[in-house]
Structure 1
Amino acid sequence: MAVLWPKRLPRSVLDDPRRKAEVRVYDRLAEVLDESFHVFYSSPWLGTDRLGNEKDGECDFLIAHPEHGILAIEVKGGREISFDPRDSQWRSTDHGGFVHKIKDPVAQARSAKHEILKRLNDSPRWPSRFVHAAHGVIFPSAGSPPGNLGADRPTRIFCYSRQFHDGLGAWIAERLKAGQRPANCEPLGRDGIAALERLLAHPFTLSFRIGAALAEADTEFRVLEPSQYQILDMIADIPRALVRGGAGTGKTVVAIEEALRSAAAGQKTLLTCHSRPLASNLERKLKNVENLTVSGFHALCGQSSRQAGISAPSGISKRELYESALPNALYRAMEAQPALRWNTVIVDEGQDFRDDWWIALDACLLPDGRIRVFMDSNQRVYESAGDGVRDLSVVPVRLSRNLRNTKNIHKAASVHYSGPDIVADGPDGLEVSWVSAESPDAKVEAGYRELRRLVLNEEVAPGDIAVLVNGPVAKASFLERSSGTSIPLTDAEIMALEDVVVDTVRRFKGLERSAIVLIVSGDEMDQRELAYVAFSRARAYLCVVSSPMEAKWLSEGLSGA
């Protein structure tokens, strides 16, 4: 197979209907040429002007061979291609019958050939010499004409549909005069190939933005997500189910789907969780769904007890209020007003619930009702979690595939995971980025620079980013440092869709963003739970700002950190 630059086409090219013909040619060249040929696909790395038009001197493909020289190729799609000498206009008729004016492909290919030769001869690392250079045009869907199209447009420079399918390799060999190099031409040589790689492949690498990588990964995850719902069919006849899985296995996604299905079936349904930011996010997603109540656990306790006319005791500590008084009030409310109960109770992030809270949640269920508890299976972090829920006679079911994180992020988070095996089905993705800084102020500064780099240089949308810190002090420091930025900021509770989230790891639990900048500053990250949670919040890009000693602990077992 030919050496291809890039090695695979970005999702943005594959999904662009205007590039269909180029994608077909890219795939065909990979099939018919051997490893002695180097193929450079131009569009992704040379770019377009501010109006979206191709710049002069570009071509769709450049084929280079160390013995035979170079061939500049222009590709034009459409089932019919025509040229009218009266107005010197080329036209393409697409498969829908619409006619489009197109640039002169011969002139484009010829211009590109001369531009590449000029750049090659200007290269300081390549001794200038006369090499064979040719140009050609590929019409992968159009039939061949009866004869030459003009003095500068002989039939031999064109490759039409039949030749494209059955004789592309022979056409390329003929255009390059393979084995018949003109006497006045020298070989391009390996140094010529290397010079072209520096000229053409290097800019492609520079222009591949993290934002594009995130979009590509997100597209792949969207394809995977429907497979998560199969678990709901498995538990359809189980009235009390405990669904366990590690980070990224889709617990929240499946919990939402189960809530929607239950409500759509006319069942009075409750979806609850412990985290207030996660509850707020769920409420926004599921607003105004008939038969569905979405509420944080303690908000549920307060609202239900008020509806039943039951007051929590006064004069107690905040901790006692949340740990026992409010859950007790919820239990009493359900006993006093059975009409408040639900047909289906769904609990997300169940590992955060205290053992005695399950008694109150069980009281929320109507007789013959259904309960679904979604809980993390990380035994290293949540070793005793689930002891209380087992008293509800739940049947355990396991989620075993990570459909949220790229393989590289899954590998980093798995350092802090111990439990049933989980397989990451997503793309490999970008490597985890480790940024070294010692003092708290230096870490905040490094995190702020990384945020600006992602938004301003790497074309990542602010709404795809979260900056996570250890605690309120570090959060305040980062917000103070970024107070003058034009980048919009929000927190985990408001979670404005187009803004960067800046919040603590603990408050971001159960949430996710495509890109995470994690600033390790303070003692909280010494807890495996927060390291595990923080790493697994990133879908496709993770940057960790920490001291070398912290990085060593956080990445134990990983290479390259």
Structure 2
Amino acid sequence: MIPSAFDPECTPSPGEREVFQRLRDDPGTEGWVVLHSLGIAKHPRQIQGEADFVIVVPGKGILVLEVKAHHQVRRLPSGEWRLGGHPPTLRSPFQQADEAMHAVKEKLTGHGGGLGGVPMTSAVLFTHSRFAVSGPMEWHSWQAIDTVALHSRPISALVAGVLDAHRAHLASTPTAGWFNPASAAPDADQTDRILEALRPSFEFAEPPKLRRQRMERETQTFTKQQYEVLDMIAANRRCLVRGAAGTGKTFVAVEAARRFAGSGLRVLLCCFNRQLGRWLKEETAGVEGITAAHLHSYMAGLVPAARPAASGDDGFFTEELPDLALEALLERDGPPFDVLVIDEAQDLMRESYLNVLDSSLRGGLSSGQWLAFGDFTRQALYDSGGEGMEALHGRTAGEPAVFILRHNCRSVPDITFYVEATSDLDPGYAGTLRPSNDRTAEHLWWTDSEEQQRLLADRLTRLTRDGFLPEDIVVLSPLRNDQSAAGSCQDPRWRNRLVPFGSPRPGAVRYGTVHAFKGLDSPAVVLTDIASFGSAREQTLFYVGASRARDELTVLMSQNARPGFRKQVFKEKAA
């Protein structure tokens, strides 16, 4: 049955509903193909016509069946037909069926491949009335099926009887020399081609170039709604802007920095993450008055000769380098910046870092002008020494003005809802500003590393076939690159087309850790190596990784993580 379900709103006829159900449920129709409500664009009489049912019976032929559910059928002395309470018409139900049949036959003949030679006829089924005309001139008696026949015999037998009678008629007609009574048409191949000609399956997608342009346009348009926060920021010297992933914090941070610089102020725009720092620098390149960098590169610039004593010396970056940078700042005539803008501030809440920022800002953190953005409930991936935002509050004279961004302007609705369902967001999103793209976040479950690598390669291939450029895709993992699915991928399709974040290449997909991509986003994200889903840190990593996706999200998760994942999701739904 094509369509497979009856839609009463589109076709309210009770007769068609009954015929549909009988054809669907009759065991004798096994192997048949039935097209219901087949539109006919090129109709011999009407601008647009329709065939109630086109029934393809292997080995017998094609029947175009017109269904009439009227309780009374009359032909008046004037020659007009009156069906139920409808106005009289000269056009008989048999003419309707015959016209639809010829339109279908013309379509199949034009399709080629000998389909025009498949036996085809029409019939009318009166589902609610008696219809018995003796020796009709204008139609064959076997082309009429009435309510008595419908309720006394299986519908498969009635349809087969019509086609058998038609074949017998063709065999006895001298002008039908083309017909071979021994023919078993349509066979399986012809049935497939009939279906392809009459109601083909198809799938069209938005051209990739236009889709990319639309996505960029959507993002730019919706983030403009964050300008109202910028107006409030301008009226307060010390501001804290909170918001979950995707609410436009980084956009507002960059725009605020531009506005400050435009008024002649010297601005330090900084963050913790190296990749985000690089992006901030590129985004503000050429804007006079803005110094954009991740904090460690800023500190290294203050003391270019400083080097860690040994590789892996974490203390150098958390204590020694900040101390050296602080000394260099104190030797200056004064702080180098008038305004401080911090993105992903929750990752910089360490006293040694705040000392550097305090000495970099005219008036310091206590009375200077600063603006901090952060997701203070779910995105603190880096160890800040346990001090949290209290470390910043303790340096501030009076409470900063607090603003909250609640609408997700990064991700399409399905990804936004998915992030909410899998995370403890407080507060959560007030809504999403982008329209749906009819794609859902997808889970792929793996049992071992080989299966995960195969699933990853299959998914990357599918994404590129769907129109995503390799440069539009990132693969994120909670593991180090050399331990991740992307870093160890041996699939020949993608082995040489996966590159780390630090080595981008045209035509290649970038991969790296969730940590390294924090604060950034991408049209398509594949989150891999989710081996368990229980601890708060695992859930935080998952939240940060999943929320990077703008238009497409795929999660590769171990079967072992399924119980913990389900517990989290259903807990959220229950709440």
**How many residues are paired up?**
412
Give the CA deviation at 1:128.
2.4
Mapped to 2, the partners of 1:179 and 1:407 lie a distance apart of: 55
Equivalent residues in 2 for 1:33-432 (5 A)? 35-36=10-11, 66=37, 70-72=39-41, 127-129=62-64, 183-186=94-97, 203-204=201-202, 206-208=203-205, 219-306=217-304, 318-339=313-334, 341-356=336-351, 357-367=353-363, 369-378=368-377, 385-393=388-396, 394-414=400-420, 415-425=422-432, 426-429=434-437, 430-432=439-441
Mapped to 1, the partners of 2:239 and 2:502 lie a distance apart of: 29
Kept after mapping to 1: 8 A contact 2:344/2:374: yes
Give the CA deviation at 1:231.
0.8
Mapped to 2, the partners of 1:223 and 1:178 lie a distance apart of: 57
Amino acid in structure 2 at the alignment position of 1:549:
N
Amino acid in structure 1 at the alignment position of 2:375:
D
C-alpha RMSD of matched pairs (Å): 4.4
| Secondary structure at the counterpart of residue 520 of structure 2 | coil
Identify the residue that residue 535 of structure 1 maps to in structure 2: 546
| Secondary structure at the counterpart of residue 440 of structure 2 | coil
Mapped to 1, the partners of 2:92 and 2:377 lie a distance apart of: 65
Identify the residue that residue 469 of structure 1 maps to in structure 2: 477
| Secondary structure at the counterpart of residue 529 of structure 1 | helix
Percent identity (aligned): 22
Mapped to 1, the partners of 2:57 and 2:213 lie a distance apart of: 35
The answer to whether residue 523 in structure 2 is matched with residue 514 in structure 1 is yes
Mapped to 1, the partners of 2:216 and 2:90 lie a distance apart of: 47
| Secondary structure at the counterpart of residue 539 of structure 1 | strand
- For residue 502 of structure 1, the aligned residue among 507, 511, 518 is 511
Mapped to 1, the partners of 2:488 and 2:401 lie a distance apart of: 45
Give the CA deviation at 1:552.
4.0
Q: Which has the higher contact order (CA 8 A, sep 6+)?
A: 1
TM-score calculated relative to the size of structure 1: 0.63
Mapped to 2, the partners of 1:178 and 1:441 lie a distance apart of: 70
Mapped to 2, the partners of 1:479 and 1:497 lie a distance apart of: 20
Mapped to 2, the partners of 1:220 and 1:237 lie a distance apart of: 29
Kept after mapping to 1: 8 A contact 2:485/2:528: no
Kept after mapping to 1: 8 A contact 2:243/2:249: yes
Mapped to 2, the partners of 1:537 and 1:495 lie a distance apart of: 18
Flag the 1:122–1:35 CA change in 2: closer, same or farther, 3 A.
closer
Give the CA deviation at 1:432.
1.2
Identify the residue that residue 468 of structure 2 maps to in structure 1: 460
Give the CA deviation at 1:338.
3.9
The structure with the largest alpha-carbon Rg is 2
Mapped to 2, the partners of 1:328 and 1:498 lie a distance apart of: 43
Give the CA deviation at 1:184.
1.6
The answer to whether residue 557 in structure 2 is matched with residue 546 in structure 1 is yes
Unmatched 5+ residue regions in structure 1?
5-33, 38-63, 74-108, 133-176
Kept after mapping to 2: 8 A contact 1:514/1:538: yes
Amino acid in structure 1 at the alignment position of 2:372:
V
Mapped to 2, the partners of 1:362 and 1:325 lie a distance apart of: 17
Kept after mapping to 2: 8 A contact 1:355/1:388: yes
Flag the 1:255–1:465 CA change in 2: closer, same or farther, 3 A.
same
Flag the 1:223–1:271 CA change in 2: closer, same or farther, 3 A.
same
Amino acid in structure 2 at the alignment position of 1:251:
K
Mapped to 2, the partners of 1:436 and 1:417 lie a distance apart of: 23
Mapped to 2, the partners of 1:259 and 1:200 lie a distance apart of: 60
Kept after mapping to 2: 8 A contact 1:214/1:541: no
Mapped to 1, the partners of 2:560 and 2:493 lie a distance apart of: 32
Kept after mapping to 2: 8 A contact 1:469/1:504: yes
Kept after mapping to 2: 8 A contact 1:267/1:291: yes
